[in-house]
Structure 1
């Protein structure tokens, strides 16, 4: 079982201590930097006030980005399947 250590991350100038396995530390730090960046973008627009609201908007934006990436992946998979079937049909004729 991986050993967990506490990692300190900073998001919107506030420090958080997160339990995290050593091997996942780089991913956690990267995720925290990404979240911090998104939250700063939202805060800097001046349209959303309050850390909680900024966090929710950032979470929604990040989730939307992930869903679009997932949809793109599914679409790409479908295109590859179609091409594979066409290739099989062409090779069967040859």
Structure 2
């Protein structure tokens, strides 16, 4: 069973404690930094007031960017991982056959 680590992060000057598996800590910290930058950019534009509205606008912007990446022939991480998994299985099978020769 993997341990869950408690991380203290800051987004727009507010502290949050987030549970995270140790192996995903670096990715989570990158996500926190990205969200903080998006929210600060929205706040600094002066068009949106209130932390809740800023958070919703940041979430919508990130979701939109994600959807455009997938739709526009971009990089689909889940599909990429499935393909790599199938390639690894094929390689493992080929190596098993080679080991039987010796």
Coarse TM-score class (shorter-chain normalised): 0.7 to 0.9
Q: Structure 1: which 4+ aligned runs deviate by more than 4 Å? A: none
Higher RCO (C-alpha under 8 Å, 6+ residues apart): 1
Instruction: Could you tell me which runs of 5 or more consecutive residues in structure 2 were left unpaired when the two chains were aligned.
Output: 75-102
Cα deviation for residue 9 of structure 1 reads 1.0
CA–CA distance in structure 1, aligned partners of residues 35 and 2 of structure 2:
25
Provide Cα deviations, 1:45-69, integer angstroms capped at 9, x if missing partner. Answer: 1110000000000000000000000
Q: Give me the CA root mean square deviation.
A: 1.0
Provide Cα deviations, 1:12-54, integer angstroms capped at 9, x if missing partner. Answer: 0111000101000001100000000000000001110000000
Aligned residues: 74
